[in-house]
């Protein structure tokens, strides 16, 4: 339902349509975002070779680590703003929006500095081979030099999505994605700039998407409009955003810490393993899109309805989102299982690269439904103002179990299969925990 001032309220009307039509633009936008990330790897792999692809792929693990942490604060801001919108509290909405902008400015500056300073250290910690170390370091230095734009873009998108607007972020993301593809071709294929060109194309396109989002929020006549002169830290809103955002940031960091350790284990098998599994990871990013879409939609839906006190709609919307996401991602997983050699082969024609990527796909793809359920459960719990539970579960299952396995089993049984199987095994463990916690949470709220 559209509010009189243009905000899309999801507290009344057909919840299935509201969630679905919110999720579709997020899906298309995430598709374009994944596409321009993948174009980097496709062009790098085909024009610059397996070692350059390995450098960009291993760099991706580290960028996810730092970007994921600061993305958590954007997600937290979105939850808080959506809750105030659901409660129709215009004053709190206005203050939360401008506090979120302040949080974004601080996070953007910190991430730029941290990324540039920590990149060389982290590359050494994950045992990046000397043959790709300098290339990876160059890529990361340029990438993090422009990461302020990415942080602010995430904050601006979180504000729009909290108000039920997933259409405009889609439009801006499509524009920036196409720009990135053109710049990739120009910088790498035409100007022969190497991985520096790939990194530069990415940060320029991110800057464009940030400017487009900001322009929209400066001009809109609505409660979530941004006025740059009003950016300040409201104490209660800052605490609410940190309370929501810090656990979400920690959750992303926990997942990526486990991935970094596994990346270190993968690196020990050489550049071809790094390139093959890096190529698979790009393909997996596309498979994961339904989960991203419905997670984003259900977070906004649950947050608005929780703010409005609509318990019945929260439960129905959560169930619908879970079913849609896990059915879609499992169907995609089956397709990936069959077509893995061809998809990985698009990144490199080297048989060893294809074998490594296909091996990982054949182990993980049929278990995608468990990964999907875990992310949907996390999104629902955040919307229900239970932000600490998801990172606690993932700390145990997706970090601790993986770390202990690599440090124990991995030292005795040094085989790439271990890196493959750690993912579905830990997905299944967390699925059991999340199912128990979610059912208990809804039962408790029904009784209250």
Can you give the chain as a three-state secondary structure string? CECCCCCECCCCCCHHHHHHHHHHHHHHHHHHHHHHHHHHHHHHHHHHCHHHHHHHHHHHHHHHHHHHHHHHHHHHHHHHHHHHHHCCCHHHHHHHHHHHHHHHHHHHHHHHHHHHHHHHHHHHHCCCCHHHHHHHHHHHHHHHHCHHHHHHHHHHHHHHHHCCCCHHHHHHHHHHHHHHHHHHHHHHHHCCCCHHHHHHHHHHHHHHHHHHHHHHHHHCCCCCCCCHHHCCCCHHHHHHHHHHHHHHHHHHHHHHHHHHHHHHHHHCCCHHHHHHHHHHHHHHHHHCHHHHHHHHHHHHHHHHHHHHCCHHHHHHHHHHHHHHHHHHHHHHHHHHHHHHHHHHHCCCCCHHHHHHHHHHHHHHHHHHHHHHHHHHHHHHHHHCCCCCHHHHHHHHHHHHHHHHHHHHHHHHCCCHHHHHHHHHHHHHHHHHHHHHHHHHHHHHHHHC
Q: What is the pLDDT of residues 408-444, one digit of tens each?
A: 998 888 899 998 999 999 999 999 999 999 999 888 8
Average pLDDT over residues 384-402: 90
- CB neighbour class for 114 (10 Å; exposed up to 12, middle 13-18, buried from 19): middle
- Confidence grade of residue 227 (pLDDT, cut at 50, 70, 90): very high
> What's the rounded Cα separation, in Å, for the pair 282 and 276?
10
> What's the rounded Cα separation, in Å, for the pair 214 and 229?
14
CB atoms within 10 A of CB 435: 13
> What's the rounded Cα separation, in Å, for the pair 177 and 57?
19
Asked if 76 contacts 248 with a C-beta cutoff of 8 angstroms, the reply is: yes
- Confidence grade of residue 248 (pLDDT, cut at 50, 70, 90): confident
Asked if 85 contacts 102 with a C-beta cutoff of 8 angstroms, the reply is: no
Q: What is the pLDDT of residues 91-114, one digit of tens each?
A: 999 999 999 999 999 999 998 998
Q: Which residues have a Cβ under 8 Å from the Cβ of 107 and sit 6 or more positions away?
A: 70, 73, 151, 155
Q: What percent of the chain has pLDDT over 90?
A: 49
In this prediction, residue 280 carries a pLDDT of: 92
Half-sphere exposure (Cβ direction) of 84: Cα atoms closer than 13 Å: 21
- Confidence grade of residue 143 (pLDDT, cut at 50, 70, 90): confident
pLDDT at 38 over 90: no
In this prediction, residue 5 carries a pLDDT of: 47
> What's the rounded Cα separation, in Å, for the pair 154 and 75?
8
> What's the rounded Cα separation, in Å, for the pair 84 and 105?
22
Asked if 354 contacts 211 with a C-beta cutoff of 8 angstroms, the reply is: no
Average pLDDT, the chain: 88
In this prediction, residue 197 carries a pLDDT of: 87
> What's the rounded Cα separation, in Å, for the pair 64 and 262?
14
Asked if 75 contacts 299 with a C-beta cutoff of 8 angstroms, the reply is: yes
Q: What percent of the chain has pLDDT over 70?
A: 96
Asked if 136 contacts 124 with a C-beta cutoff of 8 angstroms, the reply is: no
**Phi, psi values for residue 8, rounded to 5°:** -90, 105
Asked if 288 contacts 369 with a C-beta cutoff of 8 angstroms, the reply is: no
End-to-end CA distance of the chain: 28
**Listed ranges 140-154, 245-259, 319-333; the one with the highest mean pLDDT:** 319-333
- Confidence grade of residue 399 (pLDDT, cut at 50, 70, 90): confident
In this prediction, residue 7 carries a pLDDT of: 67
In this prediction, residue 447 carries a pLDDT of: 63
pLDDT at 2 over 50: no
| Residue of 258 and 26 predicted with greater confidence | 26
pLDDT at 4 over 50: no
Give CA torsion, residues 357, 360, 365, 366, to 10 deg. Answer: 140
CA distances, 275 to each of 49, 280, 353, 395, 426 (Å): 10, 9, 6, 27, 24
Q: What is the pLDDT of residues 157-192, one digit of tens each?
A: 999 999 989 899 989 988 988 898 889 889 988 888
């Amino acid at each position: 339902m559209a509010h009189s001032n243009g905000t899309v309220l999801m507290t009344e009307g057909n919840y299935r349509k509201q969630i679905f039509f919110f999720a579709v633009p997020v899906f298309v936008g995430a598709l374009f975002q994944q596409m321009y990330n993948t174009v980097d790897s496709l062009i790098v792999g085909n024009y610059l070779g397996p070692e350059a692809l390995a450098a960009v792929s291993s760099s991706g693990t580290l960028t996810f680590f730092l970007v994921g942490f600061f993305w958590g604060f954007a997600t937290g801001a979105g939850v808080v703003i959506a809750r105030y919108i659901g409660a129709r509290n215009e004053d709190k909405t206005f203050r939360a929006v401008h506090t979120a902008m302040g949080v974004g400015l601080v996070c953007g500056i910190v991430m730029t500095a941290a990324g540039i300073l920590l990149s060389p250290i982290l590359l050494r910690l994950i045992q990046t081979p000397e043959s790709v170390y300098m290339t990876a370091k160059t890529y990361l230095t340029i990438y993090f030099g422009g990461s302020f734009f990415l942080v602010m873009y995430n904050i601006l998108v979180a504000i729009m999505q909290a108000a039920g607007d997933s259409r405009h972020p889609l439009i801006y993301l499509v524009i920036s994605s196409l720009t990135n593809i053109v710049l990739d071709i120009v910088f790498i294929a035409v100007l022969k700039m190497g991985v520096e060109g790939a990194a530069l194309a990415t940060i320029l396109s991110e800057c464009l998407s940030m400017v487009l989002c900001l322009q929209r929020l400066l001009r809109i006549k609505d409660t979530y409009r941004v006025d740059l002169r009003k950016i300040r830290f409201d104490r209660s809103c800052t605490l609410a955003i940190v309370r929501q955002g810090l656990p979400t940031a920690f959750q992303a960091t926990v997942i990526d810490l486990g991935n970094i350790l596994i990346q270190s284990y993968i690196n020990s098998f050489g550049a071809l393993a790094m390139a093959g599994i890096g190529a698979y990871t790009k393909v997996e990013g596309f498979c994961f899109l339904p989960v991203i879409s419905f997670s984003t939609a259900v977070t906004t839906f649950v947050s608005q309805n929780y703010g409005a006190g609509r318990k019945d709609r929260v439960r129905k919307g959560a169930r619908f989102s879970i079913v849609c996401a896990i059915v879609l991602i499992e169907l995609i997983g089956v397709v990936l299982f069959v077509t893995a050699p061809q998809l990985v082969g698009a990144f490199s024609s080297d048989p060893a690269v294809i074998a490594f990527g296909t091996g990982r796909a054949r182990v993980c793809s049929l278990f995608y439904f468990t990964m999907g359920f875990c992310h949907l459960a996390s999104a629902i719990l955040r919307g229900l103002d239970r932000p600490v539970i998801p990172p606690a579960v993932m700390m145990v299952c997706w970090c601790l179990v993986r770390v202990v396995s690599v440090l124990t089993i991995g030292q005795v049984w040094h085989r790439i299969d271990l890196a493959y199987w750690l993912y579905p095994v830990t997905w299944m463990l967390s699925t059991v925990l999340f199912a128990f916690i979610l059912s208990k949470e809804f039962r408790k709220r029904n009784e209250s």
